[in-house]
């Protein structure tokens, strides 16, 4: 099956810092989603981005499908950004998502 | 509108008991997925429904796991004769029409088998 690798596994930042999270995947995909799992376990949709670039406030994401990677940028981080960030991919629109192991982000005040 | 809801949010079961976990998808969503998330790991696929049809159950870890969606809306994941290794968070996700790709997740049910 498709493999998803995320880096770094852990990231500790001071409030206000910027960060880049990376997701590599092993095959072509039609669905790529970034999620934030908050401390209560809820997976919050950040981006649906199988290709191209999107921005939403302090967050932005870029997927280079031909090179099989995606990047999530967090600018001016806040303590509420803490949690685990997951990248998940699927080969087709109706198929299962395969998740990476996640990046554990801690933002200190 | 309302998102995906799951119940119960927490379940403690003694080893050997049967449990039933419920998922209410977003109204009108055709596709429904179940995932299992072990502590410290990413969610892993269990099974997939399109309307009432179970199209993929290849992720179910054993024949003790059974899922149904009889009317194409609410789904139930049933685990028979629970074992300690079944302890995990069970997540449900739904997706709209076939042209829509994005999956939306519920809050999960945390199952602890003692």
> Closest partner residue to A30 among B45, B101, B108, by Cβ?
B101
- Asked if B33 lies within 8 A of A97 by C-beta distance, the reply is yes
Confidence at residue A47, expressed as pLDDT on a 0 to 100 scale: 96
- Asked if A35 lies within 8 A of B105 by C-beta distance, the reply is yes
User: What's the CATH fold of domain A4-108?
Assistant: Immunoglobulin-like (2.60.40)
**A32 contacts chain B (CB < 8 A):** no
Q: First-to-last CA distance in chain B?
A: 37
Q: What is the 3-state secondary structure (H, E, C) of chain B?
A: CCCCEEECCEEEECCCCCEEEEEECCCCCCEEEEEEECCCCCCEEEEEEECCEEEECCCCCCCCEEEECCCCCCEEEEECCCCHHHCEEEEEEEECCCCCCCCEECCCEEEEEC
Which of B4, B9, B42 best probes binding to A when mutated, by most A CB atoms within 10 angstroms? B42
In this predicted structure, the answer to whether residue B82 has a pLDDT above a threshold of 70 is: yes
pLDDT range class, residue B99, cuts 50, 70, 90: low
In this predicted structure, the answer to whether residue A92 has a pLDDT above a threshold of 90 is: no
- Asked if A93 lies within 8 A of B101 by C-beta distance, the reply is yes
In this predicted structure, the answer to whether residue B45 has a pLDDT above a threshold of 80 is: yes
Mean pLDDT over the full length of chain B? 94
pLDDT digits 0-9 by tens, A31-86: 999 999 988 899 999 999 999 999 999 999 999 999 999 999 999 999 999 999 99
What number of other Cβ atoms are within 10 A of residue B14's Cβ?
8
Domains of chain B: 5-113 (2.60.40.10)
pLDDT range class, residue A94, cuts 50, 70, 90: low
In this predicted structure, the answer to whether residue B72 has a pLDDT above a threshold of 70 is: yes
Residue ranges per domain, chain A? Answer: 4-108
């Amino acid at each position: 099956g498709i493999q998803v690798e995320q880096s770094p596994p852990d990231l500790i930042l001071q409030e206000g810092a910027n960060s880049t999270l990376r997701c590599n995947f092993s095959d072509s995909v039609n669905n790529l989603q970034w999620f934030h799992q908050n401390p209560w376990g809820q997976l919050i949709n950040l981006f649906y981005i199988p290709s191209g670039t999107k921005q939403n406030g302090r967050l932005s994401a870029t997927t280079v499908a031909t090179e099989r990677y995606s990047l999530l940028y967090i600018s001016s981080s806040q303590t509420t950004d803490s949690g685990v960030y997951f990248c998940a991919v699927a080969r087709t629109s109706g198929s299962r998502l395969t998740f990476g192991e996640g990046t554990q982000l801690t933002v200190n005040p | 509108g309302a998102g995906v809801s799951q119940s119960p949010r927490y379940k403690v079961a003694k080893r050997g008991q049967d449990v039933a976990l419920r998922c209410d998808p977003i109204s009108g969503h055709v596709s429904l997925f179940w995932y299992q998330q072990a502590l410290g790991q990413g969610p892993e696929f269990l099974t997939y429904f399109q309307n009432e049809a179970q199209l993929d159950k290849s992720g179910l870890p054993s024949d003790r796991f059974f899922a149904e969606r009889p009317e194409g809306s609410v789904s139930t994941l049933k685990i028979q004769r629970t074992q300690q290794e079944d302890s995990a968070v069970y997540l449900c996700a739904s997706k709209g029409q076939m042209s829509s790709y994005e999956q939306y997740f519920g809050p999960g049910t945390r199952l602890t088998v003692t």
